[in-house]
Amino acid sequence: MKKVNKYYLQKVRELPCSACGVYGTQAHHNTNNTGLGGKTIDINTISLCPSHHHDLHFGIGVDKWQSKYGNQDDLVLKTRYIMFKDILENHVTPFKDADRLGFNLKDMEKFVRDFNGKLSKIKILEKMLLELEEKRLEIIQDLKNDPTSDLIEMHSEFKDWFKYIQEKGSKIYDEKEKKLISFLMLSYDSNKLINQLMSVNIEIKELHKKIYKEKTTNTIKN
């Protein structure tokens, strides 16, 4: 793939900003993995408005910028997808654009199909991730809701009250109290909850890896 591709840069500048969606953008060359003082080839570019382009280079810094707006590698593919999709769907002679861009039309069509499939798969994975995050919060809440302190407080309150009732009634209460405590303590297993939390954390970590892999896997070699 040729390093200089002026037509590709032109098409990138016609797209909305990848960070905020406004038009009137510049073509930002991906700074990830470019080496010392290097500059990536023109197809590895992102459409950015002047404000977000300046912010990336001279503002909050690359790491914070990517945390806020997305990894540059992901945005390169997203930019390419939007460009190719527009050409294939709205241009009268997409094969001419493909040629000027330096791509094969069939490769562009495959890229768009694969990216659509990727978006669907990512959506499913992100839904699974959300469900696991909710489960994780429920487990953490269960760990916080240790019944021991409540039982001790309840026991103390009822002891005072039972000073005023008959001895027989107190014995009946004591038996019920023992059964209640036994039942609650059996139903609350902190070790089990901790193991569940560890398992969910591992699943969440693996899902993050899968989502990242799906987002960063390039479907057309540069």
For the ranges 91-105, 168-182, 184-198, the maximum mean pLDDT occurs at 91-105
Model pLDDT for residues 16-67, shown as the tens digit of each residue: 999 999 999 999 999 986 655 568 889 999 999 999 999 999 999 899 999 9
Q: According to the model, what pLDDT value does residue 210 have?
A: 84
Q: Would you state the pLDDT for residue 152?
A: 61
Same domain for 10 and 98, yes or no, is: yes
Question: Is 43 inside a domain boundary?
Answer: yes
Residues 28 and 88 in one domain: yes
* 11 and 96 assigned to the same domain: yes
Q: Which residues in 128-148 are b (16+ Cβ under 10 Å) and which e?
A: ebeebeebbeebeebeeeeee
* Domain limit, last residue, from 103, 120, 141: 103
Q: Is residue 211 part of a domain?
A: no
CATH number, domain containing residue 10: 3.30.40
13 and 98 in a single domain? The answer is yes
pLDDT-based confidence at residue 182 (cuts at 50, 70, 90): low
Whether 161 is covered by a domain: the verdict is yes
221, part of any domain: no
pLDDT at 120: 81
Distance of alpha carbon 117 from alpha carbon 32, whole angstroms: 25
Angstrom distance (rounded) from CA 177 to CA 154: 10
Give percent of the chain above pLDDT 90. 39
Residue 147 shares a structural domain with residue 99: no
Of 103, 118, 145, the position where a domain reaches its end is 103
Do residues 95 and 175 both lie within one domain? no
Are 165 and 87 within one domain? no
Is 210 domain-assigned? Answer: no
Taking a C-beta distance cutoff of 8 angstroms, is the pair 180, 172 a contact?
no
64 falls within a domain: yes
Packing angle, helices 105-144 and 94-101, rounded to 10: 80
What is the number of structural domains in the chain? 2
Full residue range of the structural domain in which residue 188 is found: 133-205
Backbone angles phi, psi at 197, to 5 degrees: -65, -45
pLDDT beyond 90 at 83: yes
User: Using one digit for the tens of pLDDT, what is the confidence trace for 115-160?
Assistant: 888 888 888 888 888 899 998 888 888 777 666 666 566 556 555 5
Residues 142, 99 share a domain = no
200 token code pair: 């969910």
How sure is the predictor about 175, in pLDDT bands with cuts at 50, 70 and 90?
Answer: low
Write down the pLDDT at residue 110. 92
The C-alpha atoms of residue 16 and residue 149 are separated, in whole angstroms, by: 57
**Which tens digits make up the pLDDT trace of 94-106?**
999 999 999 999 9
Report yes or no on 112 lying in a domain.
no
* Pair (150, 201) in one structural domain: yes
Q: How confident is the model at residue 173 (pLDDT cuts 50, 70, 90)?
A: low
Q: Is residue 123 included in any domain, yes or no?
A: no
Q: In terms of domains, do 180 and 94 share one? A: no
Residue with tokens 């977000």: 52
- Indicate if 97 and 10 belong to the same structural domain: yes
Q: Residues 156, 201: one domain? A: yes
Q: Which amino acid is at 163?
A: K
